[in-house]
Copies of this chain bind each other. A is one copy, B any other.
């Protein structure tokens, strides 16, 4: 396995914090930096084992905690019951997610509107935004083209009319 060049950024962060940069931490970082997907811990573990790294799950979790703290990696929860991780290098640092309810595909997009909302929120509520999460769930073009439709099982009488 080839160590990803960005791993040295992480090593630098660790040294700044007075923490040792270990083989395991670098291996986890390399896997995350080498993918543009949103990886689960299971995904990461699988890739490490493929590359002949014998590494404990606990160590992966501990390395991810440091990666997130360094701000080189972002943690996501798309409501699947587990977390996903994506690195923040060579891509838009701030972006939002479209998540297809049919195929699970994740599409990233950027929007200045959110910045505008954050400004408004500070103004109107005195609330100082630190970070946000905008996820839109729906059907991607491919699934729509394939004729997929979303089931609708709510109360037949719309709430608004009550």
Binding site for B on A (CB under 8 A): 6, 9, 12-13, 16-17, 69-72, 77, 79, 88-89, 93, 96, 98, 100-101, 107, 109, 111, 113-114, 116-118, 120-121, 124-141, 144, 150, 153-157, 159-160, 162
A155 pairs with B16, CB closer than 8 A? yes
Total copies of this chain within the assembly: 2
B117 pairs with A113, CB closer than 8 A? yes
B154 pairs with A141, CB closer than 8 A? no
For the complex formed, measure the closest distance between the CB of A152 and the CB atoms of chain B, giving whole angstroms.
9
**Across the interface, which residues of B come within 8 angstroms of A130, CB to CB?**
101, 137-139, 150
Could you write out 12 A-B pairs with CB less than 8 Å apart? A9-B162, A77-B77, A93-B159, A98-B125, A107-B125, A107-B127, A109-B125, A113-B116, A127-B138, A129-B138, A130-B137, A132-B135
